[in-house]
Each structure stands twice: as structure tokens, then as C-alpha cells.
Structure 1
Amino acid sequence: MSKLKIGVVISSTRPTRFGEVPAKWIVDKANERPEIQAEIVDLRDFDLPFFDEMASNLWMPSSNEKAVAWQKKVGEFDGFIFVVAEYNRSITGALKNALDQAYNEWNKKPFGIVGYGTVGAARAAEHLRGIGVELQMVSTRSAVHIGGADFFAVHPLGQQNKPMSEIEGSIGSSAKDMLDQIIWWGQATKAARADDAAAAKAAE
């Protein structure tokens, strides 16, 4: 089987965001695995409008060119790692809007989470898992939560600005478990999607 193409989605678009730091760290970790080809997907690059279609693309094609371009990008991947900031106990508005701008392209694919914040974005991660169920996605059991002292060690707010390598003793095993699960689910769902596509073609 060919490598799994995994999109590492940075969920915050703020000018002062921290998300690029853990995103670059996890994409490097993912690309160390021979089964994975990972790349960063930055929501800043897509300038998505607030969802304003007649309906989800589950029911009808989207009309906005930016939404269609986003759907095409999402469709390239076999799975995802969402780098999640927690805003008021949930995911960012930018990420929720990006999730809503596609439907079919998320289906039957796994996702993992790298969350950061004082509680490691734990509450945002649980909201994201619920959204993923509705999008017919598979969440990994393990996630990476960069919280507490680890968060303040690597975030500028903590005034330490240590590299991510300094906290790998705390989060490295979680990252490994998450990637193991993405590989297992990614290979299983990729094979199943291929079987579905072959069956649909045979029925034409």
C-alpha cells in the first residue's frame, strides 16, 4: 500500500498564534514513520468565508470557489492531525467553519489531535471528536495534550520559549501512540474506501 497522506491542520489563524510550533513538531514526527507522508495545512492559506451555502456538499455541490478549493485540498488526504487551540472550552471558530465547509471529503478517514493550552485543549478535543463522528471520521484514542508546565515551557507566555524537544519526555509516548493508531486506521479505511470505489465502478 502507498504511503498515507496526512494533513496536519493548524486550527488558529490569529497573527499571534502558537499553533505553528507544535504543527511543525508533529509533522516531523509523522514523517519519520515510513508509512506516512505528512504536510502542514494552514487555514490561513484558504481564506474561507463563513459557511453560506444552500446546504452541505453532502446534499449538493458548493458554489463558492474558495469552499470548492478547500474541499479539493481536504480530499487529497487519507487522514488528519488537528493542531487544536482551545477557545472558551471549545475549538476555534476558524476550525469549525473549515470542518463545515466540506463533508464528503472528511468521510471514512482517521484523525488525531495535538492540543495546547493550560489544560492541553482537552475540552476542545472532546468537542472535535463529537464533530468528527458526525463527519463520519474515526478519532484515535490517544492524543497529544500540551498543558500545564509543558505549555508554559514552550509558549512565549511562559517566557521560556524552550524548543518542543524539551518536553518530549512528557508528550513523546502520546505522540507515538497517536501515530500508531493513525497508521492502523488510515490503512484500514484507505483499503475500505478503495473497495467501495471499485464496487461503485463495477455497478455502473
Structure 2
Amino acid sequence: MPTIGIILGSTRPNRVGDQVARWVHEHASRRTEAAFELLDLRDHPLPHLDEPMPPSLGQYQHEHTRRWAATIAAYDGFVIVTPEYNHGIPGVLKNALDHLYTEWNNKALGLVSYGAAGGVRSAEHLRLVAAELQMADVRQQVTLSLHTDFENFTVFKPGDHHLHALDAMLDQVIAWTSALAPLRKAPAAAA
């Protein structure tokens, strides 16, 4: 059974993303086609990209990078929960993505975004980064508005209509995770 990591892409104090990530995890965990685990970037502190070699070489010098690489390598696919900061993804999320390369390759990616405009610009930014990491981002996404899905901008109260989008996105992530499995198991090409 595939294991899909739900990455909480914000470490900001007083963040609301933890409520969103728990909602995704609780709903996803009711499924039987895959196992879902929550990954909080607060539990994986990484300094600003400090590896001397490009991540694509996989020659990680620092223990924090090797631990992060082992964590990400263990998953078959991902759902990333991201806020929108200044029309993009948080720096901490970009840094976590940039620390690695091969560990992200050939894995499906679903997006749950939130912000004043539903975090759609953050999701679009994330799609560009995912493409370079050879991830297969699925079409369906969940967009949550700080104006309508959060009471006083702080307490997450999503409308039931979001469950349809969440289920559709999870269906796609599970399908693509399974479809990409042969590529993840293929031996590395000779250089």
C-alpha cells in the first residue's frame, strides 16, 4: 500500500495551516487505498540551503539533510498544505523542497492552499517547483479562503463543499502514486 506524506508547509507562529493539515489528514486517513502521515516542517528544521553540492548529485554533507532525505524517500506521494505569502510559497517550504532532488522524483503531488484568494498563486508557484523536481502534480486542488473558511481569520471552519474537491484530489494522488510506482522502482540510469 502506498504511503503519502501530508506536508504542512508553514512554520510561522500562530499559523492556521496546522488546522488545515489535520483536516486533510483526518479525512484522508479514512481511506483504505493508501496510508497517510502528517509531516510538519517544524519537526524538520533545515538551515537555509547549506549543502555545498547541488541536490541533484545526492552528495549530502550535513546530517540534517540526510535525515530529511531519508524521511522524504520513504514516501510514495505527497499532499502539500501551503499558505500564500506574497503570491508564492513560504520560504521554509521552498527551502525544504530545494534541499533534495531525487527523493522527490516520480512522486505524485496534491495541493491544498489557503490565503486571501484561496492560495491559488501559491499553488501555481508550487506547481512550477514540482515540475523541476520531476513530481507529477495532479489537476484537482483544494483552495481555502481566509475570508470564508476561517472564523475571524484564525479558526478553520471549511464548508462541506470542500470535501468533494479534497476527495477528488486524493483520488488523483492515489492513482498517480500507483501509476508512477514502476518509475520509482526502476534502477538509476548509468551516467
Same fold (TM over 0.5): yes
Alignment of 1:168 onto 2:166: no
Alignment of 1:184 onto 2:168: no
| Partners of 2:153 and 2:7 in 1: CA distance | 19
Q: Tell me the residue number matched to 1:114.
A: 112
One-letter amino acid of the structure 2 residue matched with residue 55 of structure 1 = M
> Cα distance, 1:162 vs. partner?
5.5
The alignment-based identity, stated in percent, is 38
Number of paired residues? 190
Q: Secondary structure at the match of 1:39?
A: strand
Contact 2:49 2:95 in 1 (8 A): yes
> Cα distance, 1:148 vs. partner?
5.4
Q: Tell me the residue number matched to 2:39.
A: 41
Contact 2:9 2:81 in 1 (8 A): yes
- Give the one of 45, 48, 57 matched to 2:55: 57
Structure showing greater radius of gyration is: 1
Residue deviations 1:111-162, cap 9 Å, x none? 0111111111100000000000000000010000001543333742xxxx36
Q: Tell me the residue number matched to 2:67.
A: 69
- The correspondence of residues 16-165 of structure 1 with structure 2, limited to 5 A, is 16-147=14-145, 149-153=147-151, 155-156=153-154, 161=155, 163-164=157-158
Q: Given the superposition, is the C-alpha separation of residues 10 and 63 from structure 1 closer, same or farther in structure 2, using an over 3 Å criterion?
A: same
RMSD between superposed Cα atoms in Å: 1.8
TM-score, normalised to structure 2, is 0.93
Contact 2:58 2:102 in 1 (8 A): no
One-letter amino acid of the structure 2 residue matched with residue 98 of structure 1 = A
Contact 1:81 1:111 in 2 (8 A): yes
Structure number having the greater helix percentage: 1
One-letter amino acid of the structure 1 residue matched with residue 163 of structure 2 = G
Q: Given the superposition, is the C-alpha separation of residues 37 and 60 from structure 1 closer, same or farther in structure 2, using an over 3 Å criterion?
A: closer
| Partners of 1:92 and 1:193 in 2: CA distance | 28
Specify every segment of 5 or more residues in structure 2 that has no aligned partner in the other structure, as ranges: none
| Partners of 2:17 and 2:112 in 1: CA distance | 9
| Partners of 2:157 and 2:118 in 1: CA distance | 17
